[in-house]
Amino acid sequence: MRIAPLVIALLCVPARPAPPAATPASEPAAQHVEVTAPLPTARDEKTLSQLLSAREAFDRHHALAPDATLAFRLYARLDPDDLARLHLFFVQGTQRTEVALDERQRFALAPEWTRADADRGASLQTNLPDGAVAWKVDIRSPGVPEDRRRLGDLRLECEADTFHGNLQRGLRTPFSAILDANDELCLLDDAEVWFAERPIFGVTLLSGERRRTLPYAYLHGSTGTMALAGLFDWPYALRDRAYFLPLEDRSWPDDTQVLFDAMDDPQPEPAP
Amino acid sequence: MIARRPVMLAVVVAGLCASGCSTVGNGRMAQLDAVQAAALLVPGRTTQDEVRQALGQGTVIRFRSGRETWHYLYRKGIAPGWDDVPYIGLITSRLDRPTKELVILFDGAGVLRRWSMQEFRTAPSKGA
């Protein structure tokens, strides 16, 4: 278990008993008291080594999204309110430095974080208990509208995460390890789960005139092996945003747009 | 007599698999088209009880928000139940078969908000 400082600042604590009322009034000097105690549970964290491995896989498969940049994103797995109290720290030995997160709880690898730091045990640690956070690789090509994703970006996220960054929680099957050794794991539909920005009711692939609305099996971890995949990383608070992609179908080009039909969108008019 | 049993079993299994369909719900999905669905499923009005009465019970997924999806599936080519049999279902569920599905979204009060229906051929997934 990690030990992290729990600091309680107590102001205006009397340094000595209050003087008798008869004596001239004098304010006791303010004191700052620090109490350090072990945290009751382990914090949700990833090693710097994992994140650097994700970057190496990102570099290796960069052709899937040549103009994209790499970031990491934190999601609340169990309680959406956790996002409001989420903080991230770079931890090395006894040093602890806060890492800024953007409005989507994303951060990038700092240039000064090196493999040597990773070898010395550096980690990225949240202030939330282990299991509270889903860590995802976040890869975005420029020019993609906010409400869409580019398929090549998502394929690259899978390559950088699965068995490289290894950010998804849970067990890894021996079969998936064999596939990964051949760089074939991200050619399987259930290799990676993604989370949309909002609760979704449908996902559609669009490439020119070609269009495919994914069967419900690809949404919400609903059926088949993709439902079993939920056993490996079951982020209950994110279930209504969860989707898989037909990674086995390589006929879709990397520039394919992934469109989301939100639960809050109105019912479309029936086709004439 | 004993030697005949595997043969008979194979005949029975082949017979069950060679015809029929599998479905979630009361079987009305087989005939349901988009026009009928639009008449039956009215956002903001249709309730879970009404859907259950019309289509039977779909496969339910409940979300933290209180919303639910009900999923109905009709697949040609395999008799009911085989997709759910351990090990055998791993094979039958991956056969390339014409499939029609209906997904209904209910809000926390049990009122229908969205629905979608589509037909496709099952895309077998190998799975990791």
Q: What is the 3-state secondary structure (H, E, C) of A17-29?
A: CCCCCCCCCCCCC
SS3 A65: coil
Measured CA to CA, the distance from residue A175 to residue A170 in angstroms comes to 15
pLDDT confidence of residue A84: 93
Q: For residue B105, list its beta bridge partners.
A: B69, B114
Shortest CA distance to A204 belongs to which of A261, A134, A132, A268?
A261
ipTM over 0.95? The verdict is no
Query: What's the length of chain B?
Result: 128
| Minimum CA–CA partner of B35 in chain A | A270
User: Would the pTM count as exceeding 0.80?
Assistant: no
Measured CA to CA, the distance from residue A52 to residue A56 in angstroms comes to 6
Contacts of B61 in chain A (CB under 8 A): 220, 222, 239
Of the candidates B38, B65, B116, which has its C-beta nearest A201's C-beta?
B116
Of the candidates B34, B67, B113, which has its C-beta nearest A240's C-beta?
B67
Q: Is A177 on the interface with B (CB under 8 A)?
A: no
Between strands A194-195 and A95-99, the pairing is: unpaired
Shortest CA distance to A222 belongs to which of A250, A207, A203?
A203
| Minimum CA–CA partner of B59 in chain A | A222
pLDDT confidence of residue A180: 62
Q: For residue B114, list its beta bridge partners.
A: B105
Residue indicated by tokens 């394919």: A256
Q: Which residues 216-245 on chain A approach chain B with CB closer than 8 angstroms?
A: 216-217, 220, 222-226, 228-229, 236-237, 239-240
Q: Is the pLDDT assigned to residue A20 strictly greater than 90?
A: no
Contacts of A192 in chain B (CB under 8 A): none
Q: Which helix (H) or strand (E) holds A124?
A: strand A123-129
The residue with greater pLDDT, A7 or B10, is B10
- The tens digit of pLDDT for each residue in B30-63 reads 889 999 999 999 999 999 999 999 999 999 999 9
Q: Is the pLDDT assigned to residue A259 strictly greater than 50?
A: yes
Q: Which two tokens stand for residue A135?
A: 């860590």
| Minimum CA–CA partner of A269 in chain B | B38
Q: Do A220 and B69 touch (CB under 8 A)?
A: yes
Report residue A195: phi and psi, to 5°: -125, 125
- Greatest CA separation found in chain B? 62
Q: Do B101 and A215 touch (CB under 8 A)?
A: yes
pLDDT confidence of residue A2: 37
SS3 B118: strand
Measured CA to CA, the distance from residue B123 to residue B20 in angstroms comes to 20
Measured CA to CA, the distance from residue A256 to residue B1 in angstroms comes to 60
**Mean pLDDT, rounded, for A239-264:** 95
**B80 CB-near residues (< 8 Å, 6+ apart):** B20, B21, B22, B23
pLDDT confidence of residue A191: 81
pLDDT confidence of residue A87: 97
Chain A and chain B share a number of CB contacts under 8 A equal to 85
Q: Which residues 83-122 on chain B approach chain A with CB closer than 8 angstroms?
A: 93, 99, 101, 103, 105, 113-116, 118, 120
Q: Do A190 and B67 touch (CB under 8 A)?
A: no
Most confident by average pLDDT, A30-34, A40-44, B80-84:
A40-44
pLDDT confidence of residue B98: 84
| Minimum CA–CA partner of B71 in chain A | A216
Measured CA to CA, the distance from residue B57 to residue B48 in angstroms comes to 9
Q: Is the pLDDT assigned to residue B9 strictly greater than 60?
A: no
- Report the b/e string of A128-164 with b at 16+ CB within 10 A: beeebbbbbbbbbbeebeeeebbbbbbbbbbbbbbbb
pLDDT confidence of residue A225: 56
pLDDT confidence of residue A11: 34
Q: Is the pLDDT assigned to residue A146 strictly greater than 50?
A: yes
pLDDT confidence of residue A170: 57
Q: How many of the other CB atoms lie within 10 Å of CB of A260?
A: 20
Q: Is the pLDDT assigned to residue B29 strictly greater than 50?
A: yes
pLDDT confidence of residue B97: 76
Of the candidates A173, A213, A239, which has its C-beta nearest B63's C-beta?
A239
Mean pLDDT (chain A, rounded): 82
Q: Is the pLDDT assigned to residue A23 strictly greater than 50?
A: no
Of the candidates B59, B105, B125, which has its C-beta nearest A263's C-beta?
B105
From residue B81, how far is each of B6, B16, B77, B92, B101 by CA, in Å? Answer: 21, 10, 12, 10, 17
